[in-house]
Structure formats: C-alpha cells, structure tokens
A and B are shown apart, each in its own frame.
Chain A
C-alpha cells in the first residue's frame, strides 16, 4: 500500500511556500492543484483476497486517467488507507479522508459493514462516495454511487437459466447473514417465476465446514439443481466434499457467489467444472474494452490472474466517477451527482455500465457463465439489467434526502 499522504503534504507545503513567495501566482497554482481521490480498502488481513486486486484496479484506473491528461486538466492524486480488515479502522480513516485530507471523492469499502461504517460520515462531510462491490442491495442515498451487481440482477439471470437447462426443482444453500438470506429469497422468487420450485432452503453459519449430512439430505430431496450462495473459505469445503462424494456428476450446480474472490481457481478443474454462475465480468469476455483492460493490467502488474469480479467493479467505478467529472466540468459534489443522475455511462471491461438516476445503482450487463478448467466461460450475455430490487424501494428523485438501507420485501 502506497500511502501518499506524505508526498501530498510535502506538495502542499511547497505550494504554500511558493504562494507566499509569489502572491501573483496563487490563482494559477491552485488551478494546477491535484484532484484528490481517497481510497479505503482492506489490503491486508482476512479480506485481502478481495481488497488487494481492488486496490490494483484502482491504481490502474487512476494511472490511465492521468496518462490521458488527467481530469479537467488536473492530475489525480490517490490517498489510500489500508483498513486491515478491521471495521473500526473504517470509521477512523473515513473521518480522516473527509475532514483532514479533504478528498474530492472516496472509493472503497468491501463488506457491507464497512460501507455502513463510512457512509454516514461521508454524507455528513459532503464527500461523494463510490461503493464498487457486489452487495445485497437496498441502499438509498444520494451521496453514494453503487457500481456492483445486486442479487436481483444476478439471480434474475442465473436461476431461470439453470431451471431451463436442468429442471424445475432447486435446492438452495446460503450463508447465514443478510446477503445469503436476501439472495435466497430472490432465488425462491425467480424459481417460481420460471416455473420452478425451491424444495428446500438451508442456511449455514460462516464457519461451518462439514457438509456430509447436508449432502445426504440433498440426495434424499433429489432436486434437479443445487443453487448455492455460500460465502468464504469454510464454505468452500462444500464444493470439495460435494465432488468427493461424486455428486458433481449427478446433480448440477449454480452459484451466485463462487468465483467472486477467484475461488474457482482454488478448486481443481474436476471439482469446479460445469458450475453455472452469473456475474458482470469474466476475463474471457471477448470485447475490445476487455482486451484493452487485460493488456493494461498485464502491462502494469505482469500477471492478470489476480483480476476478479469486484476488482473490475472498482475499476469501472473509478472510470464512472471520472466520466461524471468530465461531463460536469467540475469536481463540485453536487455537479458530479447531477452528472451521475443524467444518464452517466461508460464502456467497461464487463460491458456498458449506466447509472440509474433514481437509485444511484448501476445498470449493467450480466454474463451467464460456466466454470470450465478454472476459467469462466461466457455462455450468454444479458444486456443492461436493471437493479430492480433497489428500484422497488428507492426513488432518490422523489426523496433526495433519503439515507436508508432498505430491507427489500419480496
């Protein structure tokens, strides 16, 4: 983690000295002042598998913008903090970014808990905030822009496709916290709409790593498909034990979470092959934008294997913000927010990303994929999926002062 606050302080000190010496130049030197982008991510600790590639993606996006002449003729400077997978540090660094560093925008936060720790601070300090991660949906706040996929966008594609391919009876396994609970509800809803049926839903605390009895229970229920929203390292054991019982060739599986942190590269090809997933991004997407992105990443870091879904979300988030600033012609917070609400759109590695004015969530392409030889083969592209879950509860053009995270009733 390069913390560049020190350089920044040096820079401002020099600037201050210069401006004292030459009062006539004050106006001009301010105009050449850098735009400050605050980044707050867990680049160490237990979430660093998510945070490190996200940080790399942010650095890449900023360096691309700077190489292209910066924003409004000004260079972007990043001020990054490593929150060490500690939620308490988010509050502290969030305050620092807003009050002391006085950044123009903050990108970051990984877990929903970390987002909720800094969202009120940044709103109070009038600092624009971009949260660039797949999450459970429902945040309604004009000061935030959310560029990751929500459960409805994903599940709306995944479950009907799995039912169409394999049959109507689905068995749902999900992590036992808000993301899993909410996602499981969407899975049930879309299963019904697609003419299927959820015959069972099982929730697992995050530290459960023995799935023997679950695997037997699934066989007793004999579903056509197993759909998983399991999360984290302990839950990865499920896929392994599933394959060890030889079930991977008997009952097909779909997942809304596998591969977010590149978990499909931890499983062997035999264990992972054939599992259906749906995300915004796969490195296998054959588009010029993705090709350019992979080349740029390779050029900066050598190896592209670290790239994953939410790293790309972060990359697209930074570019979305940059585009908003360009369109606004200013870094003033309200001007940028108005640009976000005015059909802001970019072409990212995962396809076209458009901001939805009413919810400040992203409308994006969702790719249906199949894991094959530790890769995510794209099966089908579903263009411009709306964040309909959040849209059902949130309308920022009607209530611009809303700051709630709604629990979405289905």
Chain B
C-alpha cells in the first residue's frame, strides 16, 4: 500500500517534470513555430540564475520563481531581437541558428562559472510515508507545474492578451490589420516562453548537479514531449507528458531506469508513426 502510494507520487512527479521542462518550448515551438535548440541551455541559465541569486542571500523561492524567469526572459528578449526575429517562418534556419546559440551559451556559462558542477540544496526536507521516505520537494514541483498550467490556460483563454497572442500566431496579417503589432506580440511570446523555461531550470536546480552542459539532459525529452503533444499547447503537453510519464515510470519500477528511458523513446516513435500530427492532431482537437 505504501509502495503503491510512493509509485503514484513518482508517476505524478514524472508527469509534472515532463510538463515543466517542455512548457516553455511548447510556447516557443507550438505557438511560434520556432525550433529552439537552445531550450536546454535556457534551462541551464535559469538554474545558474537561481543558484547565483541564492548565493547572494536572496530567498530560495524568490530566486527560483522570480529571479530565474526574469533573467532568462530578458536573455530571451535579447536573443529574439538579435537573432530569432529575422528567422520567423524559416524552420530549418532557426534550428541552425539556435543550435549555434546553444553552443555559444554553453561556452558563455563555462567562461563565467567554470566547467564544474554546482548546486543548491532543496528547501523542503523529505518526510516518511508509512515505511518509505519521500522527497518533499517533488510535491513542490507538482504544485508549481499545476499552477503554471492553470495560469497559462487562464491567460490564453480568458484575457485579451491571450486572445491577441493566439490570433497573431494564427494569422499575423489579420492581427496586424486589426491594429496589433505582430512584432511586439512575437517578442512578448518569446519572452514568456523563455521565462517559463528559466523558471523550470530554476526549480529543478536543487535536484541536480548543474554544469554548463546540463542543458543537454533536458532537450531531447522536451522536444519529444512537445512534438508528440501536437498542435495544442496545453492539451498537447499535458496529454503527451501523462502518457510518457506513466510509461517511463512503469518500466523504471518494473525493470530499471535504462529500460524506462528506452520505453519512453519507443513509445514516442510508435506514437508519432500512428499519429504523425501528435496526440492533439487527432484527439482534443481545437483545444488550447
């Protein structure tokens, strides 16, 4: 019984983890059709932003939830202005440019922080559940992810801001004809995507050993989740993260973490063979 609860927590955590690492990418890729190969590096920068802020005596929650998204969001705006905005609509070119960008950011972080692993301790201690010890920080991640998703859904569906953003993504010309500047909207959306990514990096920083090359560990999973999710930003990420989280954790518990990772990849391949447009290309069509 205790074990079942522990496994359930791990599965939910694993789903939340996938949502958290891919939600920023979903905004940038799903809404703007920009393949950001520097997504992992944005997370890495978010992690460093949080760690440096904590090192300067800032409260760890503020560091993770405010400083990290702000810093990475601003870096995102700079990058959007300098590089990305020249490449909208050119899928392959953005890929090449952001790949170069990811190499640059790794080098940049290495120059500043050195090529060593750093980290901070999680602010929440573990607690016991029957005869098991559970990582309390996992609940924090689950909670934050739920709040992020709810907030995104609310903003996109119920606010004028969300409406304008969605409208611009669907038809930039029409939005422009109605008096909205698509350039501004793209910039704001890229900022939002980068900030979400930075926050994810900040929140995960206490759980990992962070180094300049850490971004590489997230990028593949984030892309798999977003692409398998399909066109809808929120429904897509939620459905694919749930599927992959469930599959990978089931196999991890049944066999080993290696088998879990393999199962995730196999599931993604099969899924994309059957549903090339992603889950939301067939189900939940037209949802957010």
Task: Select which of A202, A237, A243 is within 8 A of B209 by beta carbon.
Answer: A237
Task: Select which of A207, A211, A266 is within 8 A of B217 by beta carbon.
Answer: A207
Which chain A residues lie closer than 8 Å to B127 at the CB level? 246
Which chain A residues lie closer than 8 Å to B100 at the CB level? none
B110-124, CB < 8 A from A: 115-119, 121-122, 124
Contact (Cβ within 8 A) A244 B126: yes
Contact (Cβ within 8 A) B137 A244: yes
Which chain A residues lie closer than 8 Å to B210 at the CB level? 233
Contact (Cβ within 8 A) B115 A45: yes
A75 within 8 A of B: no
In Å, the complex CA distance between A274 and B17 comes to 30
Q: Interface 1/0s, chain A 274-302, versus B by CB < 8 A?
A: 00000000000000000000000000000
In Å, the complex CA distance between A162 and B119 comes to 28
A271 within 8 A of B: yes
In Å, the complex CA distance between A245 and B135 comes to 4
Task: Select which of A204, A217, A247, A266 is within 8 A of B117 by beta carbon.
Answer: A266
Which chain A residues lie closer than 8 Å to B66 at the CB level? none
Contact (Cβ within 8 A) A202 B257: yes
**In this complex, which of B118, B209, B214, B217 has the most chain A Cβ atoms within 10 angstroms of its Cβ?**
B209
A77 within 8 A of B: no
Contact (Cβ within 8 A) A220 B3: yes
Q: Interface 1/0s, chain B 7-35, versus A by CB < 8 A?
A: 10010011001000000000000000000
Contact (Cβ within 8 A) A268 B121: yes
In Å, the complex CA distance between A44 and B253 comes to 39
**Given A212-B14, A217-B253, A244-B206: A266 in contact with B119 (beta carbons within 8 A):** yes
Which chain A residues lie closer than 8 Å to B14 at the CB level? 210, 212-213
Which chain A residues lie closer than 8 Å to B208 at the CB level? 209, 234, 236-237, 240
Which chain B residues lie closer than 8 Å to A247 at the CB level? 126, 133
In Å, the complex CA distance between A266 and B121 comes to 10
Contact (Cβ within 8 A) B6 A216: yes
In Å, the complex CA distance between A240 and B125 comes to 11
**In this complex, which of B126, B137, B213, B214 has the most chain A Cβ atoms within 10 angstroms of its Cβ?**
B126
Contact (Cβ within 8 A) B17 A210: yes
Contact (Cβ within 8 A) B132 A219: yes
In Å, the complex CA distance between A250 and B3 comes to 17
Contact (Cβ within 8 A) A176 B209: no
A395 within 8 A of B: no
A to B contact number (C-beta, < 8 Å): 124
In Å, the complex CA distance between A104 and B260 comes to 50
Task: Select which of B115, B252, B256 is within 8 A of A46 by beta carbon.
Answer: B115
Which chain B residues lie closer than 8 Å to A203 at the CB level? 256, 258
**Given A220-B3, A245-B134, A246-B126: A236 in contact with B258 (beta carbons within 8 A):** no
Task: Select which of A213, A245, A246, A266 is within 8 A of B257 by beta carbon.
Answer: A213
In Å, the complex CA distance between A208 and B252 comes to 12
**Given A45-B115, A204-B257, A245-B126: A216 in contact with B209 (beta carbons within 8 A):** no
A48 within 8 A of B: yes
What distance in Å separates the Cβ of B106 from its nearest Cβ neighbour in chain A? 9
B89 within 8 A of A: no
B93 within 8 A of A: no
Contact (Cβ within 8 A) B137 A213: no
B95 within 8 A of A: no
In Å, the complex CA distance between A332 and B135 comes to 60
Which chain B residues lie closer than 8 Å to A46 at the CB level? 115, 211, 213
A215 within 8 A of B: yes
Which chain A residues lie closer than 8 Å to B119 at the CB level? 236, 240, 266-267
B138 within 8 A of A: yes
Which chain B residues lie closer than 8 Å to A205 at the CB level? 258, 261
What distance in Å separates the Cβ of A190 from its nearest Cβ neighbour in chain B? 23
In Å, the complex CA distance between A48 and B119 comes to 18
Residue of A nearest to B218 (CB): A209
Which chain A residues lie closer than 8 Å to B122 at the CB level? 240, 244
What distance in Å separates the Cβ of A274 from its nearest Cβ neighbour in chain B? 16
Residue of A nearest to B210 (CB): A233
A12 within 8 A of B: no
B216 within 8 A of A: yes
In Å, the complex CA distance between A212 and B10 comes to 7
In Å, the complex CA distance between A44 and B212 comes to 13
Which chain B residues lie closer than 8 Å to A233 at the CB level? 117, 209-211, 213-214
Contact (Cβ within 8 A) A213 B10: yes
In Å, the complex CA distance between A176 and B217 comes to 16
A397 within 8 A of B: no
Which chain A residues lie closer than 8 Å to B257 at the CB level? 202, 204, 208, 210-211, 213-214
Contact (Cβ within 8 A) B258 A207: no
Which chain A residues lie closer than 8 Å to B253 at the CB level? 213, 216-217
What distance in Å separates the Cβ of B9 from its nearest Cβ neighbour in chain A? 8
In Å, the complex CA distance between A48 and B214 comes to 16
Contact (Cβ within 8 A) A237 B207: yes
Contact (Cβ within 8 A) A202 B126: no
Task: Select which of B133, B138, B207, B256 is within 8 A of A219 by beta carbon.
Answer: B133
In Å, the complex CA distance between A210 and B7 comes to 14
B249 within 8 A of A: yes
**Given A212-B13, A212-B14, A240-B121: A250 in contact with B133 (beta carbons within 8 A):** yes
A396 within 8 A of B: no
A241 within 8 A of B: yes
A374-397, CB < 8 A from B: none
Residue of B nearest to A42 (CB): B115
What distance in Å separates the Cβ of A169 from its nearest Cβ neighbour in chain B? 16
**Given A203-B258, A216-B253, A241-B135: A266 in contact with B209 (beta carbons within 8 A):** yes
In Å, the complex CA distance between A205 and B220 comes to 15
Task: Select which of A49, A210, A215, A240 is within 8 A of B116 by beta carbon.
Answer: A49
Chain B positions within 8 Å of A, measured between CB atoms, are: 3, 6-7, 10, 13-14, 17, 115-119, 121-122, 124-128, 131-138, 206-211, 213-214, 216-217, 249, 252-253, 256-258, 260-261
User: Can you list 9 pairs linking A and B with CB atoms under 8 Å apart?
Assistant: A209-B209, A234-B208, A234-B209, A237-B208, A237-B209, A240-B207, A240-B209, A245-B136, A266-B119
Closest 5 CB pairs of A and B: A246-B126, A236-B209, A245-B126, A233-B117, A245-B135
Chain A positions within 8 Å of B, measured between CB atoms, are: 44-46, 48-49, 176, 202-205, 207-217, 219-220, 233-237, 240-241, 243-247, 250, 263, 266-268, 270-271
